[in-house]
């Protein structure tokens, strides 16, 4: 099988460390390697280099080549611009089908933290076997460890075609705290790991059936220009296909996993100093508790605060109460709209 690493996201929730020109997948969030490099290395243990592809926006191709230096041009699938994962997967499927290649591939995010990945390869091989059947889609379900409101969930049935392969009953969008607590108390409920295993022809089948306008736009031109691609509906693959597909399974996995989507996620994965503070950079702190403080470009002194995210980089300064972190993406969008 192949793996296609999705590396076109904006990573706005990590501003000002993550920026439009260098979003979070190209940053060393949890080690000396960037998230993209970690993801590539994970699959290089298992697959030949020619089986690993990266799909990304045209503007990020130089970053991909800088960080994965031995990758051939034909293994980089280029989106003219960012239009979410629905058009991204349509473009990817079309590339393979035009080459008369209908081999199963796994679409995987470039920014997930998976420190122990040996179990994952067996899961992918099982997923490949199930995805060989016509129009079958396989997802990965992560056993939840907390009532997380930042993830989507999968509700699965109790029995499936094979041990550890369960039909999906429903996808559940990011819940509030009360609903998340209810979900993790139920059987066969998992975090949606954002991994999809399928054949290119399966994507084509569902695109033609469920998103005919998008698929027509993708197939009617031999080379899609930026202007054409900007007219594609901006839609996630979850809404475009997964929530409507007839034959979809999940494989439950119990392992350490984290979608590093925000400063709060970064907080979970690093050791803290006294008073539950996470400090990165030249920082002096006093009488302060439960803060995330990152300072790249200057000596920073913090006194008498609690529950704050303070991030200072050459690109900007963020001061945010942890309880308002969820608003960061919207505020940055408002700023971008004003500056446009």
- For residue 330, the tally of other CB atoms under 10 A from its CB is 10
DSSP label of 238: I
In this prediction, residues 63-81 reach a mean pLDDT of 94
In this prediction, residues 128-144 reach a mean pLDDT of 95
Nearest-angstrom CA–CA distance, 24 and 142? 22
**Token pair of 28, please?**
């060393």
Distances (CA, A) of 124 to 53, 92, 151: 16, 19, 21
Phi and psi of 247, rounded to 5°?
A: -120, 90
Query: In the chain, what is the straight-line distance between the N-terminal and C-terminal CA atoms, in Å?
Result: 42
Phi and psi of 94, rounded to 5°?
A: -65, -40
β-bridge partners, 112: 259
Pairing label, strands 76-79, 52-57: parallel
Per residue in 142-193, pLDDT (tens digit) is 999 999 988 999 999 988 778 789 999 999 999 999 999 999 999 999 999 9
Q: Which long-range contacts (CB under 8 A, 24 or more apart) does 20-27 make?
A: 21/59, 22/63, 23/60, 24/111, 24/260, 25/110, 25/111, 26/60, 26/63, 26/67
In this prediction, residues 116-130 reach a mean pLDDT of 91
Nearest-angstrom CA–CA distance, 193 and 156? 14
% of the chain at pLDDT higher than 90: 79
Above 90 in pLDDT, residue 264? no
Above 90 in pLDDT, residue 41? yes
Nearest-angstrom CA–CA distance, 291 and 126? 42
- 177 burial level (CB within 10 Å; 0-12, 13-18, 19+): exposed
DSSP label of 141: E
Nearest-angstrom CA–CA distance, 187 and 256? 19
- Where do you find CATH 3.90.550.10 in the chain? 2-262
In this prediction, residues 54-83 reach a mean pLDDT of 94
Give the length of the chain.
340
Name which of 167, 21, 2 is nearest 11 in CA terms. Answer: 21
In this prediction, residues 300-311 reach a mean pLDDT of 97
Phi and psi of 239, rounded to 5°?
A: -70, -40
Above 70 in pLDDT, residue 340? no
% of the chain at pLDDT higher than 70: 100
β-bridge partners, 306: 289
Name which of 40, 196, 211 is nearest 110 in CA terms. Answer: 40
Query: Are 91 and 4 spatial neighbours (Cβ–Cβ below 8 Å)?
Result: no
**Token pair of 298, please?**
């200057």
Per residue in 204-241, pLDDT (tens digit) is 999 999 999 999 999 988 788 889 999 999 999 999 99
In this prediction, residues 60-88 reach a mean pLDDT of 94
CATH superfamily of 2-262: Spore Coat Polysaccharide Biosynthesis Protein SpsA; Chain A (3.90.550.10)
Torsion angle defined by CA atoms of residues 38, 40, 46 and 48, in that order, rounded to the nearest 10 degrees:
-150
Q: Is 80 helix (H, G, I), strand (E, B) or coil?
A: coil
Phi and psi of 313, rounded to 5°?
A: -135, 175
- For residue 323, the tally of other CB atoms under 10 A from its CB is 8
Q: Mean pLDDT over all residues of the chain?
A: 93
CA 168 to chain centre: 20
């Amino acid at each position: 099988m192949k793996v296609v690493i999705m590396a076109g996201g904006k990573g706005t929730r990590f501003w000002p460390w993550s920026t439009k020109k260098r979003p979070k997948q190209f940053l060393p969030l949890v080690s000396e390697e960037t998230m993209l490099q970690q993801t590539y290395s994970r699959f290089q243990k298992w697959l030949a280099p020619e089986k690993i592809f990266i799909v990304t926006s045209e503007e990020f191709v130089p970053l991909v080549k800088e960080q994965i230096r031995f990758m051939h041009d034909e293994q980089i699938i280029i989106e003219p611009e960012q239009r979410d994962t629905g058009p991204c997967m349509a473009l990817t499927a079309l590339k393979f089908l035009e080459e008369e290649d209908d081999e199963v591939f796994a679409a995987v995010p470039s920014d997930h933290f998976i420190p122990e990945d040996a179990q994952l390869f067996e899961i992918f091989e099982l997923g490949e076997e199930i995805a060989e059947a016509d129009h079958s889609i396989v997802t990965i379900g992560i056993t939840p460890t907390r009532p997380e409101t930042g993830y989507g969930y999968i509700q699965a049935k109790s029995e499936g075609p094979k041990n550890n392969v369960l039909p999906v009953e429903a996808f559940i969008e990011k819940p509030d705290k009360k609903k998340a607590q209810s979900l993790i108390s139920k059987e066969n409920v998992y975090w949606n790991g954002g991994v999809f295993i399928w054949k290119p022809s399966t994507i084509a089948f569902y695109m033609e059936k469920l998103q005919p306008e998008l698929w027509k736009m993708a197939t009617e031109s031999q080379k899609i220009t930026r202007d054409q691609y900007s007219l594609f509906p901006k839609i996630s693959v979850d809404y475009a296909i997964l929530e409507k597909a007839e034959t979809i399974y999940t494989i439950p996995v119990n392992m350490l996993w984290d979608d590093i989507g925000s400063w709060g996620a970064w907080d979970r994965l690093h050791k803290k100093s006294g008073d539950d503070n996470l400090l990165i950079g030249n920082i002096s702190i006093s009488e302060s508790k439960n803060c995330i403080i990152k300072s790249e470009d200057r000596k920073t002194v913090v006194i008498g605060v609690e529950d704050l995210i303070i991030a200072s980089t050459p690109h900007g300064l963020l001061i945010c109460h942890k309880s308002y972190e969820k608003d960061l993406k919207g505020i940055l969008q408002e700023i971008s709209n004003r500056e446009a």
